[in-house]
Amino acid sequence: MSNERVVQQGLKQSPLLICLVALLIPGAGHLILKRVVRSLLMGGAVLLMFIIGITLGGHIYGVNNAGTGLLSYVFGFCNVGNGLLYGFSFLSGIGVEDQAVRPTSEYGNVFLMVSGLLNYILAMDAYDIASGRKH
């Protein structure tokens, strides 16, 4: 048996690992499970929504938003769902500065939050498929 087959079988037998990969990279969990069309469509949707959100002036909320109110923690949870997109933008400073002056910033915030929530759903779906609960 080749190493490639062993790695693929190991990933298929570990739903938690597939879920973690799916959380970090939108669409990757379905790609590992050889659901290429679903991976490209849904991963592309998350990526496109994230890019639109940043372009519209959306704000990337952190997970520690002391002094900004309880609702910002909810926004931060939604944004963390974008996985490595969130990490890259947060570390590079893209979208971190609040641009409330822009008339489209609220739309951008919603796009960023919904893309993160959609990625959470994709990760749970990949987990269900990997564990055999869904076909």
pTM of the predicted model as reported, rounded to 2 decimal places: 0.85
Model confidence pLDDT, tens digit, residues 26-41:
999 999 999 999 999 9
Model confidence pLDDT, tens digit, residues 72-98:
889 999 999 999 999 999 889 888 887
Pair 86, 80: CB distance under 8 Å: yes
